Chains A and B, each alone.
Chain A
Amino acid sequence: MSDVLMPRLSDTMEEGVLSLWLKHEGDAVRKGDALAEIETDKATMELEAYEDGVLEQVLVAEGTTVAIGGRLAVIGDGSGGSGSDGTGSAATPTVDPAQTEATPAPTSAETASTTAPSSPPTDVASARSATGQTSAPAAAPAASAGPVRTSPLARRIAKEHGLDLNQVTGTGPGGRIVRADVEAAVAAGGPGAPGAAQRAGTPASTTAPSTTVAAPVAKPQQDDEVVPLNAVRRITAERLTQSAAAPQFYLTALVEADRLLALRSEVNAGLAARAGEDAPVKVSVTDLLVRVCALVLRQHPEVNASWGGDAILRHRHVNVGVAVAMDDGLIVPVVHDADTLPLADIATRTRDLAERGRTGRLKPDEFSGGTFTISNLGMYGIDHFTAVVNPPEAAILAVGAGTQEAVVRDGQVVVRTIIKMTLTSDHRVLDGATAAAFLRDLKAALESPLSVLL
Chain B
Amino acid sequence: MTVMTYRQALNETLRAELARDPSVILIGEEIGVFEGSYKITAGLLAEFGPERVRDTPIAEEGFVGAAVGAAMLGMRPVVELMTLNFSLIAIDQIVNHAAKIYAMFGGQCPVPMVIRTPGGGGQQLAATHSQNLEVWYAHVPGLKVVAPSTPADAKALMTAAIRDDDPVFVLENLSLYNTKGEVPDGEHVAEIGKAAVVKQGTDLTVVAYSRATVIALDVARQLEDQGISVEVVDLRSLRPLDRETVCASVRKTSRAVVLEDDWLTYGIGAELAATIQEGAFDYLDAPVRRVAAAEVPLPYAKPLERVALPDAAALTKVIHEVLDATRFSR
Contact = CB atoms under 8 A, between A and B. Distances in A.
Interface stretch (B55-63, B91-99, B177-185, B319-327): B319-327
A132 interface: yes
A159 to B, nearest CB: 9
Q: Which of A134, A180, A203 has the most CB of B within 10 A?
A: A203
Interface string B274-299: 00000001111111111111111000
Interface of A: 8, 14-15, 67-70, 90-98, 130-135, 151-156, 171-173, 176, 178-181, 203-204, 206-207, 209
Contacts of A179: 254, 285, 326
Contact of A131 (B264, B281, B296, B321): B296
Contacts of B282: 152-153, 155-156
A155 B283 CA distance: 9
B46 interface: no
Given A151-B284, A179-B254, A95 B264 contact: yes
A168 to B, nearest CB: 13
Contacts of B326: 151, 172, 178-180, 207
A94 B289 contact: yes
26 contacts: A69-B321, A69-B325, A91-B308, A92-B293, A92-B308, A92-B314, A93-B295, A94-B318, A95-B264, A96-B289, A98-B325, A130-B296, A132-B264, A132-B296, A132-B308, A151-B284, A172-B286, A178-B325, A180-B328, A203-B254, A204-B202, A206-B202, A206-B203, A207-B326, A207-B329, A209-B329
Contacts of A206: 202-203
Contact of B328 (A91, A151, A155, A207): A207
Interface string B223-264: 000000000000000000000000000001110000000011
Nearest to A153: B285
Nearest to A69: B324
B311 interface: yes
A181 B282 CA distance: 16
Contact of B292 (A15, A92, A180, A203): A92
A181 B329 CA distance: 13
B265 A134 contact: yes
Nearest to A92: B314
B142 interface: no
A97 B284 contact: no
State the main secondary structure of chain A at its contact with B: loop
B307 interface: yes
Contacts of A94: 289-292, 314, 317-318
A92 B327 contact: no
B32 interface: no
B324 A153 contact: no
A178 B289 contact: no
Q: How large is the interface on B (under 10, 10 to 19, 20 to 34, 35 or more residues)?
A: 35 or more
A278 to B, nearest CB: 44
A181 B327 CA distance: 9
Interface in B129-169: none
A92 B295 contact: no
B310 interface: yes
Given A93-B264, A152-B284, A178-B285, A132 B321 contact: no
Contacts of A151: 284-286, 326
A261 to B, nearest CB: 46
Nearest to B295: A132
B327 A171 contact: yes
Q: Which of B252, B308, B324 has the most CB of A within 10 A?
A: B324
A180 B327 contact: yes
A148 to B, nearest CB: 15
B13 to A, nearest CB: 34
Nearest to B329: A207
Q: Identify the 4 closest CB pairs spanning chains A and B, nearest first.
A: A132-B295, A132-B294, A97-B287, A180-B327
Contacts of B329: 14, 180, 207, 209
B289 A97 contact: yes
A15 B285 contact: no
A434 B264 CA distance: 63
A324 B252 CA distance: 44
Nearest to A12: B329
B284 A14 contact: no
B222 to A, nearest CB: 18
Q: Which of A90, A93, A206 has the most CB of B within 10 A?
A: A93
A222 to B, nearest CB: 33
A90 B314 CA distance: 8
Contacts of A155: 282
B283 A93 contact: no
B224 to A, nearest CB: 15
B266 to A, nearest CB: 12
A97 to B, nearest CB: 4
Contacts of A93: 264, 292, 294-295
Q: Which of B286, B314, B328 has the most CB of A within 10 A?
A: B286
B113 interface: no
B79 interface: no
A156 B313 CA distance: 33
A11 B295 CA distance: 35
Contacts of B317: 90, 94
B9 to A, nearest CB: 30
Contacts of A173: 325
Nearest to B291: A94
A172 B328 CA distance: 10
A173 B317 CA distance: 16
Given A90-B314, A96-B289, A134-B295, 19 more contacts: A68-B324, A92-B291, A92-B307, A95-B264, A96-B318, A97-B289, A130-B296, A132-B264, A132-B294, A134-B265, A135-B264, A152-B281, A152-B282, A172-B286, A178-B285, A178-B326, A178-B327, A179-B254, A180-B326
B321 A67 contact: no
B10 interface: no
Contact of B294 (A91, A203, A204, A207): A91
B26 interface: no
Given A69-B325, A97-B287, A203 B295 contact: no
A96 B324 CA distance: 12
Contacts of B286: 151, 172, 178
A203 to B, nearest CB: 6
A447 B281 CA distance: 68
Contacts of B321: 69, 96
Contacts of B252: 203
A67 B307 contact: no
A372 B292 CA distance: 49
